[in-house]
Structure 1
């Protein structure tokens, strides 16, 4: 990769250099010599038809297995997935025969570029099959992990599964010994068994990326955002959000210190990973009961009211549909009601994780959810139906454009809708929350609940792929210490027990071994607040952003519909410009900061006596894992310095 090296700043005896990367040239990417536009259009028409049919077959097989988990259905699903992998490889081989950079039609160039740069089809057949097999094996191993209960003296009955057992224990147990045991059991049983397979996966992913014209698999992942300076923008937003995160962190540490004492938590130090309420430590919802600003005030939970009013799972779905039709969006089609799985069946085993499905035939859209009459499921149904609205809106696009504007957009849209639905003011409007939604105490409790979910997630959402990019750049020798160094520096989280390079604690998060990029969740987190702010403005909302509800706003619905129907046919910045009516075309932390501004003011008052806002790092913290040697590894240096370089470069306008 060519670059211009510029000296940014001198810190003591350290001189920081930045490699200012020029825009990724399309000529770097693999392509052929065919410049015949007619042949390219014919290929894309054939691809559109065949890919849509393939998607229907695979989705149908996956649906059958998810809703009836038999060995036969699993074999059929795997068979269809293997056929799809072969189809994708054949499509890639055809796409790279075209010199798409020289074709006159921009839409044709865009579609061919997507086909040529996506996936691992550049690998030879044997290695292409191997990487798919490796990912499948790692997922199977992850799903088969069973954890031994606490104080299980003879190691019998080790049958605790992640969901619901491990998740429930981490959320509800307040015994630090039990939490430590469960945390260590899960991490020790997920990481080491897959480590060798994961390292081989890294080699193959990098090989595929280089054959496609990228420097490594991390660069290929970032290429999906179609912006070479995208990572600089991420770091700029992180710098803005960090003060909010540190204030929340400090408040949470003070409360946990009061609960567990200085034996477990240092008053100026990081948080032990097993005490924050989740096995991954990605959010702090599980310890919300310890964190409420006004515990005597009833928190928002409309479950009892739903039951009192006689809600059923079907009525919950009908209520969600009415939310969208009140804004002028489409009702669910007949196929949705006929084919969706709305409740857990009693006669077969199903995967109960809520999900939305597009069967790629422009009429069959479904939701699979083992719905119960609870507030959480009410909000979840609105979230999943948001995905279906997106599917229906872009259904007329070519198959390759039937996706979110970027990898984060689907989740961002659904989460923006969720901000309106999980809202005391919305629940009051629809007759589910009869308490006064205007009281200061109610609002602070609500904002704290949201912050434990959203603000706590900020650094984790960013660091997972920061670690993955480091590994792809050549950091397989120090994977585990690099993981915990990032956890400490970004989150202020340390492991509760000593860790070493025999472990692979990042693998405790399924997305890592399942080859699912994670930056999308950080981007979605930013975008959901930007989108909500724009839709609230269109709806004529006045007042605090967290009180906004776009229910029944036809203008908000019109703008949302205009953006959704574009799918991936336009650059995501153009789609964001459509939603914000021309005001924004880049990621921004401002809307999120606006949403949490009242809580930030409250937190600063609560933390005014604290000596340290955030955390200090002592040797006792870093000694828990093997630290990286800064001077011995160029890749380690880039891991530590890149975020700082990015921010400095932005500030002095080098890019």
Structure 2
């Protein structure tokens, strides 16, 4: 649950990636912090406020916020690493205390509305007013209920499993009732509903999200992919009633602090009016949609050639289970099925990682090495001692990758169940981006301890990952030969596009769905219908089997039960190319943008540090200007990066009926 500003970012990127992984959040940063101020005394309320009183108010806030942040972050860390009813209760209690403080303090801050203040104080008050993503109602019972709901939904997701036929019965002790998949979900048809395996058969084990994602990543069999997809999505229906109540209580809390609904509060955190921000996301998507449409057209044709026209028609959406990712949000795992030019140097980083037998810490050390090459400091020893790098065999954990600053003491950690894959190597760079952002601003006032906006936080790690080029990978021994001609470059760009371009519509639609839910445009009885309508509209993706309102497919995506806003990942996928272009210029790069790696450039590192050290003390437009010289998000950098591929895709798609 993401209670307040300044707590982190997520990842796995955005997906499982990631992040996020991308984080407070459970997705972006796993830290759950509080960002607010202490309420003024009754005697202060009577007289007209003064700048000195505002300064004292914010100083009180800073002190109390640091205490609550540390308390919440510690409880959240233990909870996500040891999921039990007791740790759920401890995390919920810590979050409830933060909620109460934020509700009271955000109301108290209104006393200073209209008061002329020095820039730094005015900025802190502005951030305080939008300093939570989950405002709680004033009623103590409702506040406690909301805190518990947020923790319960995240834990249900973290414990979710799919139990194939026989697995649950095998797991149960003699005489015990048949086990069910975690989180109380019913097993899908044919799955574990207490049915015994045939005599003499070896019953399969229950499968976690990591297990099922591995199937999505590697299998090429329609039915096997379908079972993994439906198996995971079956964990979500029990989350649905809790989510409905979370929406009602969250909206009530938002109304108490002056917002029409929770979505309006989320959109208010971007240094522009909420309506203007929504229009801005539409503008950015409109510029990039034509490139996505070309990629979709090409990928669908290749998948049709494999699975047949009876399953994927000429102008049909792509079945969601065929794209190598549980949510069809990134498609690079199907690259081997549609590599543009065979015989080019191998881009199989996963194979090399496995051949080198790198362990989890060694993979993280590769990421750290990139950041230190820019002149940034090595990670503290406590990072290596306190982080979670692999899934424990003896307990339930939330495996979704996340970055943490536990308190405000530079107590940096990541929590990630690392596997030796290229996807996880990129996710490590993403999470370390959060970590290094934390390390640059942790001495600022607590209200400034976050990114310029949450998209900045998500984008930094991905910016560095853009420099993980074939030439850089060759220095690590993870590719043998470099692409030497245009065909090799097309292969590299195509594989990148399967991650970066494919993600864009998914990154936009998750919050579009939630904004409509929060605003009452989408009613509870239409949750799943509206979800798939948006996935069809934006992604051109459809469920592989019929879905009904008995399903709750949004709940099968971490950020929904964890309450982590998702537009940050959409923005990050655009910002990162703008950041990359500026850093490449600082590094003295000449040539196509997609060939640039800033590895080893301290000049680029200095420009990066200048922006990171600002935290949220300036508007995102000002922070952007420090790094890039620009004050507006520019999708042109992304288009420039992929321009050679765009021309190639247009040529390849001649004769295809694009669209859906």
* Pairwise TM-score range, normalised by the shorter structure: 0.7 to 0.9
Deviations for 1:127-154, whole angstroms, at most 9, x for unmatched residues? 2222222223333333344324389478
Partners of 2:255 and 2:559 lie apart in 1 by: 23
What residue in structure 2 maps to residue 17 of structure 1?
Answer: none
Do the aligned partners of residues 283 and 160 (structure 1) sit closer, same or farther apart at CA in structure 2, a change above 3 Å counting?
Answer: farther
Alignment partner, residue 381 of structure 1: 428
Query: Is the 8 Å Cα contact of residues 35 and 103 (structure 1) preserved in structure 2?
Result: no
In the alignment, the residues of structure 1 paired with residue 611 and residue 497 of structure 2 have an alpha-carbon distance, to the nearest angstrom, of 28
- Tell me the alpha carbon deviations over residues 572-594 of structure 1, each in whole angstroms, 9 at most, x when there is no partner: 011011110x2x21122111111
Query: Counterparts of 1:398 and 1:311 in 2: how far apart (Å)?
Result: 39
Is 1:287 matched with 2:334? Answer: yes
Q: Does 1:483 align with 2:531?
A: yes
1:147 to 157, 162, 169: 162
Assess if the C-alpha contact under 8 Å between 2:88 and 2:155 holds in 1: no
Corresponding residue to 1:208 among 246, 253, 261: 253
Partner of 1:561: 609
Counterpart of 1:278 in 2: which secondary structure? coil
Distance (Å, rounded) in 2 between the aligned partners of 1:186 and 1:230: 33
Cα distance in structure 2, aligned partners of 1:128 and 1:539: 50
The answer on whether the counterparts of 2:370 and 2:600 sit within 8 Å (CA) in structure 1 is: yes
Distance 1:501 1:302, change over 3 A: closer
State the match for 1:504 in structure 2. Answer: 552
Q: What is the CA-CA distance between 1:350 and the residue it aligns to? A: 5.2
Q: The residue matched to 1:357 in structure 2 has which SS?
A: strand
- Please state how far the C-alpha of 1:527 moved relative to its aligned partner: 0.5
Match of 2:114, SS?
helix
Structure 1 counterpart SS, 2:413: strand
Write out aligned runs for 1:193-232 (5 A).
193-228=238-273, 229-232=276-279
- Paired with 2:562 and 2:354, the residues of 1 have a C-alpha distance of 38
The 2-side partners of 1:355 and 1:468 are apart by 22
Post-superposition shift, 1:232? 1.6
Distance 1:146 1:342 in 2: 21
Q: Verify: 1:269 aligned to 2:316, yes or no.
A: yes
CA apart distance, 1:189: 4.2
**Selected match of 1:462 from 508, 523, 541:** 508
Secondary structure of 1:608's counterpart equals coil
Q: In 2 relative to 1, CA 392–81 (structure 1 residues): closer, same or farther, beyond 3 Å?
A: same
- In 1, the alpha carbon distance for the partners of 2:258 and 2:538 equals 31
**CA separation of 1:471/1:361 partners in 2, compared to 1, >3 Å: closer, same or farther?**
closer
SS of aligned partner of 2:497: helix
Bigger mean CA offset, 530-539 vs 512-521: 512-521
Take 2:81 and 2:226, find their aligned partners in 1: how far apart are those partners? 35
1:321 aligns with 2:368: yes
Counterpart of 1:360?
407
In structure 1, the gaps of 5 or more residues are 1-29, 616-655
Paired residue for 1:406?
Answer: 453
| Cα distance change, pair 262–344 in 1 and its aligned pair in 2 (3 A) | closer
Q: 1:457 to 1:266 in 2, by over 3 A?
A: same
- Asked if 1:602 is matched to 2:648, the reply is yes
111, 116, 129: which one aligns with 2:144: 129
Distance change (3 Å), C-alpha of 1:546 and 1:59: same
SS of the residue 2:414 aligns to: strand
1:39 maps to 2:53:
yes
> Cα offset for 1:411?
0.9
Equivalences for residues 428-439 of structure 1 within 5 A: 428-439=474-485
Q: Compute the RMSD of aligned alpha carbons.
A: 2.9
Change (3 A) 1:569 1:273: same
8 Å CA contact retained: 1:100, 1:113:
no
C-alpha distance in structure 1 between counterparts of 2:319 and 2:495, whole Å: 21
List aligned pairs for 1:238-277, cutoff 5 A. Answer: 238-277=285-324
| Distance in 1, Cα, partners of 2:212 & 2:387 | 29
Q: 1:158 to 1:432 in 2, by over 3 A?
A: closer
1:184 lines up with 2:230 in the alignment:
yes
* Conserved 8 A contact 1:233-1:587: no
Q: Is the 8 A contact 2:96 2:143 kept in 1?
A: no
- Tell me whether 1:113 sits opposite 2:131 in the alignment: no
Q: 1:75 and 1:482, CA in 2 relative to 1: closer, same or farther beyond 3 A? A: closer
1:587 corresponds to: 633
Q: In the aligned structure 2, how far is the partner of 1:308 from the partner of 1:503?
A: 41
| Separation in structure 1 between the aligned mates of residue 641 and residue 225 of structure 2, nearest angstrom | 33
TM-score (norm 1): 0.81
Which sits farther off after the overlay, 62-71 or 394-403?
62-71
Q: Deviations over 1:34-56 (max 9, x none)?
A: 52322221222122122223222
* 2-structure distance, mates of 1:133, 1:385: 30
Q: Is the 8 A contact 1:66 1:351 kept in 2?
A: yes
Residue 338 of structure 1, CA deviation: 4.4
Aligned counterpart for 1:300 among listed residues 347, 358, 362 = 347
Instruction: Output the CA distance in 2 between the equivalents of 1:237 and 1:67.
Output: 37
* CA displacement, residues 310-351 of structure 1 (integer Å, 9 cap, x when unaligned): 855544444433322322222323433444445666777655
Partner of 2:19: none
- Aligned residues between the structures: 580
User: Which structure 2 segments of 5+ residues have no match?
Assistant: 1-38, 166-188, 196-202
Distance 1:283 1:369, change over 3 A: closer
Q: In 1, are the aligned partners of 2:217 and 2:324 still within 8 Å (CA)?
A: yes
